Each structure stands twice: as C-alpha cells, then as structure tokens.
Structure 1
Amino acid sequence: MKIKSCAVKWLVFGGFSAGVSASCSALQCAEQPNFIIIMADDQGYADVGFQDSPDIVTPNIDQLAAKGLVFENGYVCHPVCGPSRTGLMTGRYPHRFGLQVNTPFSQTDEDWGVPLEQRFFAQDLRTAGYRTGVIGKWHLGATEKHHPNNRGFDFFFGFLGGGHNYWPADYKRMRDWQFMNAKKDQPAVSPNPEAISYMLPILHNREYVETTGYLTDIFSDEAVDFIDRNKTRPFFLYLAYNAPHKPLEAKPEDLEKFSHIQSEKRRKYAAMIYALDRGVGQVRDKLEKERLLDNTMIIYLSDNGGIVENPELASNGRLRGQKGETFEGGCHVPFVVHWPARLKAGRTDGIISSLDIYPTLLAAAGLPVPTDRNLDGFNQLPFLLGQASMSARDGVFARRWLGRNHTVGVRDGDWKYDFVSQSGETGLFNLKTDIGEKNDLSAQYPEQLQKMTAMQDKWNALNTPPKWIEPGWYWPEHREHAVQVILSFEEEMAAHDGSLKE
C-alpha cells in the first residue's frame, strides 16, 4: 500500500499542527485498545531488517513491520535523547519550554526536568482508567517531582538518567572504584553528573533493586510481566530500551551470531539490537498468548538517528548526518505502527512525527484530544484507519542548540531547508530525488529558500531560550578532567582483572 502525503494548512500556533480535537467516534463504544510504545536508543535508520540492513538481523521487529504500517518518513522532534523523549510525552516541541538540550542528571535540583505544567499523555490515559507503565530509560528528570510515578505512570522499572551499563558487575565496579577514590581524597567521578546515573542500581518505582543478568533482557522480562499483571484491563506500556546506546556491551552468545561483522564496535552494536529484537518478540508472543495482540497498538521507533561518525558503528543508510545533527540522519528514524484489528499492513510515504503519538493515542482510546494547550502533534488516527487518504502532517522542524552555534532543519513536503549558524551555511534540497541532501538547490529556487527561512523564523519565534546550557561532557572546561577520570578508571580495572571499559 502506497499512501501519498499532502500539504496541510498552517495553524495559528506557528507550527505544523495544533492538536486536532475530534476523536474517532466509531471507537467511543468499542473496546479500548492497549498501547505499547517500544523505543530504541540511538538506532540507525538503516539498522533493521525491514530497511534491508545487510548485516543486522531483526526478525521480530521485521514481523511488526510486515504486519503493520511502515512510515518511510517517520521523524522525531529532536536529534538527541532527552528532548526527543520530552516531545513524545508532551506532544510539543521541547523548544517551546526551553528543553533544547539533554536534561542534566540531578537528584536534588528540582528545576532539572520537564516542567510540571507540561502534561504527559500518560496522565490523560491513567485518568481514563488505563494502567500505565514505563520500563527502561526515563531521562525526563531525576528528582521526586519528576519521577515517573508523579508524571502519569503507575509502574516504573528502570533508571532515571540518560544511560546505564548493561551488566550489574560493571556498574557495581564503577561504584566501588568511586568510593575507593573518595577515600584517597581523589576525584570520585567526572564532573559530568550523567556519569552517576550509569552507576546507580535499577529502580522499581522508588526502590533500588539489585539485578542479575543482561539489562536489555531484564527490561524485556519486566515488560512481559507488566502485560501479564494488566491483561484484564486497558494498559499503556512505554518500553524505552537503552539499547543500542553506549556503552557497547553485548551477551557473548549474541556476539557469536554476528561473527561475520569485522568491526568489533559494529559487531557489539548489532548484538545489542538483536537482544532488543528478542525482547520485541517476547512482548508480541505474550500479547498473542493472551489474545491481546489484535487490540493492541504497538509503535516502534528510535529516539534519534544512529551515531555514524565512525562508519564502523551505526548506519543511517542514504540519509545525511547522524545523532545530534538536524540533517535527515539526526531525526529521520525507523517508525512502525502495528495494530492488526484496525490497520491495513503496508508502507506509506506519508510524514509522521513522534509528536503525533500523543493526540493519536488519545483519539484511539476514544478520549478527547486536549484543546487547552497548544500541541504540536496531529491526530493521525483517520490516516491510520484509512478514513483519510493522506497524512495530516506535511512537515517537521528540528533545531539543535549548541551555545552560540545552532543548526536548523525544516521539512515542508518534499523540500528540506538546512541552516548552520556558525558558518551561516544554508542548503535547500528536494528529498524526493535527493534524500541524502547532496545537491543544494538554493540558487535555482530562491523563492522556496526564502519561504522556508520565513517558516523557520515564525516557528522559532514561539520558542524559549534553553533552561540550561549543554551539560556534562559538553562543558569545554570539564572535558580534560573528564577524560582523565575515565582513563584512571580504566587503568584501575585493567590492573584489577585485565578488562577495559568501552
């Protein structure tokens, strides 16, 4: 099935959409569906089987794609983890309220997190009787008021920061090393507060728990248990894997399956995705066993593009750029919607954004889409159900703040506009014929360039300055010390057992 996207009218809030308030009346009296969002972390656009990856195997994700709707133009709202997840939960560009950079990890600073006035759609679903759970990576604030249990989720199992080690022995050794150095009156950890989150035990709601085994498998098992506990009532599960985000750590038996990959880094990366894919299969099998599969909407996507700075790691295929950039490789991600009872399987070139998930899920649950806040997401339910022949969205914005320098990407139909403030460089590309953004058409189409520049200016006028500067590793004055701390840790571990951290 090939569905053509269409141009949409500009709405008063300056973005490509403000949430559509009408919900699907046919679903009002039907059994409420379950929802599962499965989000990978830093997975490349081309690193799935259904995108013809030559070396990475994902049979379970591919099965979702084969029986679901694959969006060839699926986007997230930001090219790095925290802001992307913020947009998913709020249905708004994180730039609207100053979250253009990753939320710094702090368990004491109450300001470090998504502002409480920004409502998460899990709160709407829970109010409507859904059982809500998040498993895996949070990255939306680490203080009590920002805890998942206070942001619409009945159940939380995972970690609050932006990353975590995959083997318990690794983060236990890191903590031991930290305490050892503290006794020597040496710096315990790097000044990057995010490093602390990699060391902490996993949380079950608000209680730390000691885990055994590989973290991706643990999250998958917890997801199956969550479904089992809530199979008699509508539920929403946000399964936010941290794989294949660094550190690159994989199970030996999974690594063996990718011995054909010469690069050690890509081999580990592939094995990490394989473990994630295994979890997708576990979730699908559990739904099928409980006869819940047909009435469960599963959405699979990555939080941003893959890291391809080293060509031996991720692959974004023909897309230019990578994680952290506003070229297509930063925000254009694998995106599948699977709902056997309601969706016809196929592929579409219609544009969809992670921002659209908020209003679309509420509409699918028979709930009114909020009109009391300026959502940037569209209700895509009519498009998914075949009631509309074209996507409700015709474009997306992306902006990465890097202090005085920033990059911008704007898509409008087939056109893409790129801007880099530091150099003043602009580019205009036709993605229909040039998905790799190689042939700059600015000189040939000055009116289109002017139009898209004005669109960016109008959109950006409604944004606010960052609440904090780029945290952690991005502080130049801290980089040298941070590297020294990591090397010191590696030397300690090498002397201890001959191992080196990735």
Structure 2
Amino acid sequence: MKLIAYFIILSTVLCSCAKQVKDTKPETKPNLLFIFADQYRKASLGFLNEDPVQTPNIDNLAENGVFFSRAVSNHPLCSPYRGMLFTGKYPLANGVIANCNSGRTAYGNYLKKDEVCFSDVLAENGYSAGYVGKWHLDGPEPTLPGETVEWDTWCPPENRHGFSFWHAYGTHGRHNNPYYWTTHAAEGEKLVVNKWSPEHEADVIIDYLKNTEHQRINEKPFALFWSINPPHTPFGEVPEKYKQQFAGKDYKQLLNRDNVKFTTNNDLQRGDKGVETKIDQAPDYFACVNGVDDQIGRVISALKEQGLYENTIIVFTADHGEMLGSQGLMHKNVWFKEAYYIPLIVHFPKTVKSKTEDIMISVPDYMPTMLGLMGLGNQIPAKVEGVDYSNVFFNKAVIRPDKQLYFGSEPSNSSSGARGFRNAQYTFAVVKANGQKYYYLYNDINDPFQMVNIWGNNKDLDEKMEQELNELLFGMNDPWIK
C-alpha cells in the first residue's frame, strides 16, 4: 500500500510539473510604437534648449531612453525617407528617389509590392501591424509632362506590406480637416475629420490600444507606426491654443540660430527659396511642435492606462528637418544641419538603460537595428543595405560607420542633383547644376552653424573629400560618378 501511495504521489507531482511546463509561456515579445513627425528638426527637441519649444513628453522619452545624437536623414524628403525606413535600403536600391507623385510614377518612383519591408517582417513574425497617418509611398496614375500633377492616392490592401490596421492617406496638407482611408474602406470612401490631424490620430491610436473594436489581435504583440504630418507645412493650420503660446512674440527673436537670414541666399545651388514670404510663419512651426508633443503625451498615457507601457518600445524620430530661414533657405532637401539632422530616440527602460549614443546611424539602419532589439535579428531580409547596430543598446562593440550619406536626385535622371556625406568633422556636398559642379564643405567642429564654405582653402583636404565621396558612391553603384 505504501508503494502504491508513493507512486500516486509521484505521479501527481510529475503531472503537476508537466502542467507547469506546458502552461509556461515564452517570454513576451515587445510591442513597438514607432512615431515619426514630418519636417521635425533635431533643434526642436526641447531638452536641447535650441528652438523655443516645450516638449516635455518627448524630453521624458529621451531622458529615460537612448538619444541618438548623430542621426541624419540621408535624403531629407518625405517619400525617400519612408522608402529607406521600410526597406532598409538607400533610394537608388529601393527606387523611391524623390517624393511620390503622378509625374514620377512612370519612372518607378514608388514602393514596390514585392519589397520585403519592416512591417512585412513584423507581420510574418506574429505581430499585429498598424499604420496611422501620412503614407506617401504609392505612385498615383502617371501623368505626362504639362498635365496636372497628382500627389495623393489610395493604397489598396494588397500594397500595405503586412499592415492589417490602416487609418492613413497618401499625402495632403489638410491639418485641420484631414481625410483618411480606413482599413476596409474602398477608394471612394474617404473619412473626412474636422479636427487637427495629430489630435484625431491620437484618438484613433488610443482606441487601437484599448482595442475597443478588435483593431488588433489581443493575443499578439502590436507594431504601430504613426506618421504625424505637422510640423510640415502649412504651419498655420494648428489649434489656437498652441498659437497663443507665441502670441505677440517677434519671429525674428524666436529664430535664434546664428545662421538665420531673412532674405534668400541665391548663392546656393540647392534648397527652397522664398524666405521673405514664409519666414514669418516660424511661430506657427514651433506651435505645431508643442502640439505634436501634447498628442504624443496622450498616447503615452493611454499605454500606461492599458498596462502596455512597460513592454512597448517607443521610437520618436522624423523624416527630415526644416531650414526655417537658416542659410537663407526654407524647408528641406539640403545637407545643412537644420534639414539633415533629425531626432532619434528609442525608449525601452525595461531592457535598455538610458544614454546618449553618438553612433553615426543612417535611416536604412533603423529597420535592422530595431529588428535586432526586438529579438528578430535573424529575420533581417538579405537585401537590406542598412546595418544592425542593436548591440549599441547594450554597450557591446560594433563596427562604427565613419560617414553618413547625403543624397538628392530625380528619378528621371538618377545621376542628377546632389551627393555628399558627413563624417566626424566635416559636412561635404556637391551639386550638379547648369552643367557644372558646385562644392560645399564645412568644418562642423569649428563652424557649428556651417556659415563658412571652406572648399578651395586646402587642396589636399578637397581632394581627400572628393575621393572619399567617389568611393562611397562607387560602392553603391551610383550613376553619379559615371
């Protein structure tokens, strides 16, 4: 009897242990909230004390996360940034060489259906993937030269690269009355909203986190990408409560950078002109920045309320910056810091300790680096050109890049436009225009506001920079050097 009792007890213990093993779940995968604000320059991070902005929520992410102090947008333009972000490739490799519109569609200037994107990898590895906001990666029906150029277009479900939740549009400048296509909407079924777009999108994301209408699969981790249009133009389309923060303040006083000019710099062969008619909108740009931070704060609060905050990687970055009068230019698509430098903050205190990281990271590196952080480093597509630098989160050794590409071109002639790079000391760019080459070289250490072009002052340095650029472009099979 004692022996029988012993076996009964042993059997019970073994069954209990087996049940415990069976019921033990694998370590929970982290969620991902990837936020990128359009035309948000690095100088508008409040904690840097450069622009006159207040960004307490973003500041908190940086204080408790990893701030990449040397992040740049390799092609400071909306569509090319998005192409690099999602494919992990540079523009010549993914085909998104300039902003997507109908005049460029015939040249293949759009995100291809057969690309294996960041979101595809996440969806294939058990994530509920969602996209909210500006997409700007599809090619509208082609138009011929001289015809009206169309910018916006509907993205059919089969072209959404693994995103099962969709609340997005191609591109428009309607911040105060935006429209969207929702997950199951047909092309003719736009949803028009009479609310500031970041606020409406925050509402949508908060509902997504609550999962009130089964927007995602509860049992799966989520990966949500949020592309916020402001502070992109039109700057003036921002709620009055944010404008009031700058009421009565002179834009000339608010623009405190040493390189600001209130008249157009016609000596430069690249960049958006028209400072005289646009520069007075600077207070509204800063108002947009403050408002964007407000809405990000609402979403972060919702993450906490839903118990999702601790297991969610939050990324804040931007597709490019804004010149806002610096160098006598407006907007983007130049090599100067105000357009080229972007925020990049990765917040995941559960796993990653806070620090400032000075690696010279480029946009194609984001996809492999984030996949590495998420435990999916072995799922990085073979054709990705970016590098997995996720070891920097854990202070492990990586082979650090010594330069970052600057690129600007047209899909109709991919050898056109401008090329350059940034290294630890210099920013160098060459522009093809009027059948000539124009050279720009700045010592970023001695001249942090890039006010003096030193090209021509040192022949040996000039030759070295041009040789390094040609080697970089040759390695990327860039037709620029042919």
TM-score, structure 2 as length reference = 0.74
Report the CA distance shift for 1:144/1:251 in structure 2 as closer, same or farther (over 3 A).
closer
Is 1:122 equivalent to 2:109 in the alignment?
A: no
Deviations 1:322-379 (A, max 9, x none): 5111233322112211111122223232222222111112222222445653322121
Shift of 1:50: 1.5
- Aligned pair partner of 1:237 in 209, 224, 227: 224
Query: In structure 2, how many angstroms separate the alpha carbons of the residues matched to 1:147 and 1:392?
Result: 38
Report the CA distance shift for 1:463/1:241 in structure 2 as closer, same or farther (over 3 A).
farther
Equivalent position amino acid for 2:432 in 1: S
Gaps of 5+ in 1: 1-27, 172-200, 315-321, 467-502
Q: How does 1:150-169 map to 2 (within 5 A)?
A: 150-161=160-171, 163-168=172-177
Q: More displaced, 338-347 or 406-415?
A: 406-415
Q: Secondary structure at the match of 1:384?
A: helix
Equivalent position amino acid for 2:400 in 1: A
Is 1:258 equivalent to 2:236 in the alignment?
A: no
Query: In structure 2, how many angstroms separate the alpha carbons of the residues matched to 1:273 and 1:294?
Result: 26
Deviations 1:415-445 (A, max 9, x none): 3322122252324444333333345555565
Equivalent position amino acid for 1:121 in 2: F
Report the CA distance shift for 1:121/1:436 in structure 2 as closer, same or farther (over 3 A).
same
Partner of 1:70: 67
- Aligned pair partner of 1:350 in 355, 359, 365: 359
Partner of 2:182: 204
Query: In structure 1, how many angstroms separate the alpha carbons of the residues matched to 2:478 and 2:74?
Result: 16
Equivalent position amino acid for 2:59 in 1: D
Deviations 1:196-248 (A, max 9, x none): xxxxx311125222323221100111122222225653111111000111122
Query: In structure 1, how many angstroms separate the alpha carbons of the residues matched to 2:173 and 2:453?
Result: 40
* Alignment check: 8 A CA contact 2:129 2:224 kept: yes
Shift of 1:166: 1.7
Query: In structure 2, how many angstroms separate the alpha carbons of the residues matched to 1:313 and 1:454?
Result: 29
Partner of 1:83: 80
Partner of 1:418: 429
Deviations 1:11-46 (A, max 9, x none): xxxxxxxxxxxxxxxxx9642111111111112221
Shift of 1:48: 2.4
Query: In structure 1, how many angstroms separate the alpha carbons of the residues matched to 2:95 and 2:168?
Result: 26
Report the CA distance shift for 1:29/1:392 in structure 2 as closer, same or farther (over 3 A).
farther
Partner of 1:366: 375
Deviations 1:111-136 (A, max 9, x none): 55212232211000000010101100
* Alignment check: 8 A CA contact 1:57 1:274 kept: yes
Report the CA distance shift for 1:442/1:245 in structure 2 as closer, same or farther (over 3 A).
closer
* Alignment check: 8 A CA contact 1:295 1:340 kept: no
Report the CA distance shift for 1:260/1:385 in structure 2 as closer, same or farther (over 3 A).
farther
* Alignment check: 8 A CA contact 2:38 2:229 kept: yes
- Aligned pair partner of 1:36 in 33, 37, 42: 33
Report the CA distance shift for 1:313/1:452 in structure 2 as closer, same or farther (over 3 A).
closer
Partner of 2:234: 247
* Alignment check: 8 A CA contact 1:42 1:244 kept: yes
Is 1:457 equivalent to 2:454 in the alignment?
A: no
Shift of 1:391: 6.8
Pairs aligned (count): 399
* Alignment check: 8 A CA contact 2:42 2:338 kept: yes
Deviations 1:363-408 (A, max 9, x none): 22222445653322121211012223x6733321111125685222
TM-score, structure 1 as length reference = 0.72
Partner of 1:220: 202
Q: How does 1:1-150 map to 2 (within 5 A)?
A: 30-105=27-102, 111=108, 113-141=110-138, 150=160
Gaps of 5+ in 2: 1-24, 140-152, 252-279
Report the CA distance shift for 1:369/1:459 in structure 2 as closer, same or farther (over 3 A).
farther
Shift of 1:84: 0.9
Query: In structure 2, how many angstroms separate the alpha carbons of the residues matched to 1:454 and 1:148?
Result: 44
- Aligned pair partner of 2:317 in 286, 301, 312: 301
Equivalent position amino acid for 1:254 in 2: Y
Q: More displaced, 271-280 or 417-426?
A: 417-426
* Alignment check: 8 A CA contact 1:379 1:392 kept: no
Deviations 1:147-180 (A, max 9, x none): 586312111112112x330222xx7xxxxxxxxx
Query: In structure 1, how many angstroms separate the alpha carbons of the residues matched to 2:28 and 2:344?
Result: 25
Q: How does 1:372-411 map to 2 (within 5 A)?
A: 373-388=382-397, 392-401=400-409, 406-411=417-422
Q: Which has the larger radius of gyration?
A: 2
Deviations 1:31-89 (A, max 9, x none): 21111111111122212211214522111111111111212111122111110111011
Partner of 1:272: 288
Query: In structure 1, how many angstroms separate the alpha carbons of the residues matched to 2:337 and 2:312?
Result: 30
Equivalent position amino acid for 2:175 in 1: Y
